[in-house]
Amino acid sequence: MVSIAGGTKSAPADSSGMSTETIERVAVLGAGTMGHGIAEVAAMAGYHVALRDVEREYVDDGYENIEWSLEKLAEKDQLGDTPAAVLERIEPTTDLETAVGDADLVIEAVPERLALKRDVFAAVEDLVDEDAILASNTSSIPITDIAEATEDPGRVCGLHFFTPPVRMALVEVVHGEQTRETVADRAAEWVESIDKNPIHVRKDVRGFVVNTVLGPFVSEAAWMVSDGEATIRQADAAMVHQRGYPMGPFELGDLTGIDVGHHVRRERGMEIPPIIAEKVEAGDLGRKTGRGYYDYEDGDGADYEPGDGEGFDTLRVEARMVDRAAYLVGEGVATPDAVDTGVTLGLGFPEGACRRGDRIGLDTVVEKLRTLHAETGADRFEPHPYLVELVESGRTGEEAGAGFHEYDEDGNRVERTAATADPLEGS
């Protein structure tokens, strides 16, 4: 684990010359919700942090939000230091060179626009030492695309925090196509040093791990409502009260902003369920506008009841989520353990998509997908080859003793060894 500020650690450089010495100073670029949250977490862990934005107003607002948050944590006895001590480690600034000049790690948290991020990385690279890590907190833009703006894309990785960073335990460490392993490993060690759980996203796919699995949780329910096969309350009630999710897909959409998911799907060239498009066109974007799938101004918000979920096809939604997990594992993006850690810590789901698939039965999942594919012709229902391989090899899940994971006779998960990390290798 990397030492906190003031510590020392030395290690040999890799073949590229990238040092693996201790990270001591961190610069966070962007003082918005994610930026000031990341700065707060890093300072709480003992790091010296520069918090930079383009306008003093933005920096001051971010700093004040940190101050408020620290006071709340202290009131609840959840802060290991005094708020004043933590704040002393944060340097607010509008000057880019001041912020990054002596930083060992730079985390970009500016708005989700590729051109803007490229401009930031190109400017930063000219100001930092050659062994500084450049990371992006992007949730949707490929790291590879951002890194193209630099002379040395191997030093660039993703550090995708979840909101609010002070509460959420997960960070996705995203490998761009040219990210060096030493860079990703140093970044992951740093994540551990701030008391967060890193998962490696080893291929730079849109959506990374968590949002890849989350996608069908929201979109498949939206297709079912759009096609008149279910109601909003029915979907939410079933997924919460029958399947144990912390909130339903439409309730979640209202919380995060319906326009956010709409934007992501449009950017990826994905077909958008009509119910989502209709809400965005009407300006009913969720809680932030007072109305979305539910009415938060004149109504009671997400007012579904447990009994409202009767008759909803939960397997259809979960089968697609399991299939996306199979895509991540089969394509070498992440391990089953990383997928499940990401889903539980990043989304608060009751268990990971791989674990749930094993519990349902992967043969049941494949059969469901094939039936839906035959009925609709929609490509999204075609099972991923890795999922089919698991089933055809007899790894159908918990009852069979193996699926994505291994199980003992009592149905308890067995920790994998390196030798069993890829059960289908060579098959």
Neighbouring-strand partners of residue 50:
27, 91
Q: What is residue 378's predicted lDDT score, i.e. its pLDDT? A: 96
CATH class belonging to 25-201: alpha beta
Structure tokens at 54: 């383009």
Check: pTM over 0.85? Answer yes or no. Answer: yes
Backbone angles phi, psi at 109, to 5 degrees: -140, 50
Burial of 38 (0-12, 13-18, 19+ CB in 10 A): buried
Give the 3-state secondary structure percentages of the chain, helix then strand then coil, rounded to 5.
50, 10, 40
The answer to whether 221 and 205 have CB atoms below 8 angstroms apart is: no
Query: 31 vs 39, 61, 107, 147, 200, CA distance in Å?
Result: 8, 8, 11, 22, 26
Residue 6, pLDDT score: 30
Q: What is the pLDDT of residue 19?
A: 39
Exposure string for 204-234, b = 16+ CB within 10 A, e = fewer? bbebbbbbbbbbbbbbbbbbbbbeeebbbbb
Q: Can you list the alpha helix ranges (DSSP code H) found in 9-48? A: 33-44
* Separation CA 321–CA 244 (nearest Å): 15
Q: Which listed CATH number (3.40.50.720, 1.10.1040.50, 3.30.365.10, 1.10.10.10) goes with 210-309?
A: 1.10.1040.50
Distances (CA, A) of 64 to 71, 83, 300: 11, 12, 32
DSSP 279-336: HHHHT--BGGGTBSSSBSSSS-SS---GGGGTT--HHHHHHHHHHHHHHHHHTTS--H
Domain boundaries 319-420, corresponding CATH code: 1.10.1040.50
In the chain, residues under CATH classification 1.10.1040.50 are: 210-309, 319-420
The amino acid occupying position 278 is E
DSSP H or E segment with residue 360: helix 353-360
Pair of tokens at residue 372: 């839906």
Closest listed residue to residue 294, CA positions, set 227, 364, 375, 236: 236
pLDDT averaged per 10 residues, the chain (length 427) = 30 37 91 97 97 97 98 96 97 98 97 95 96 94 97 98 95 98 96 97 95 96 98 98 98 94 84 96 96 96 96 98 98 97 96 98 98 97 98 97 95 69 42
Q: Which ranges of 231-294 would DSSP assign to H, the alpha helix? A: 232-237, 249-256, 258-267, 274-282
Compute the distance between CA of residue 260 and CA of residue 276 in angstroms, rounded to an integer.
10
Spatial separation of the C-alpha atoms in residues 340 and 334, rounded to whole Å = 10
From the number of C-beta atoms within 10 Å of its C-beta (0-12, 13-18, 19+), residue 409 rates as exposed
Q: Write the DSSP string, 79-141.
A: -SS-HHHHHHTEEEES-HHHHHTT-SEEEE---S-HHHHHHHHHHHHTTS-TT-EEEE--SSS
pLDDT at residue 417, as a whole number:
54
Q: Which segments of 31-73 are extended strands (E)?
A: 48-52
Listed in sequence order, the residues at least 6 apart from 315 whose beta carbon sits closer than 8 Å to its beta carbon are 360, 364, 365, 368
Coil, strand or helix: which one is 12? coil
**Phi, psi values for residue 161, rounded to 5°:** -85, 165
Supply the residues annotated as catalytic. 160
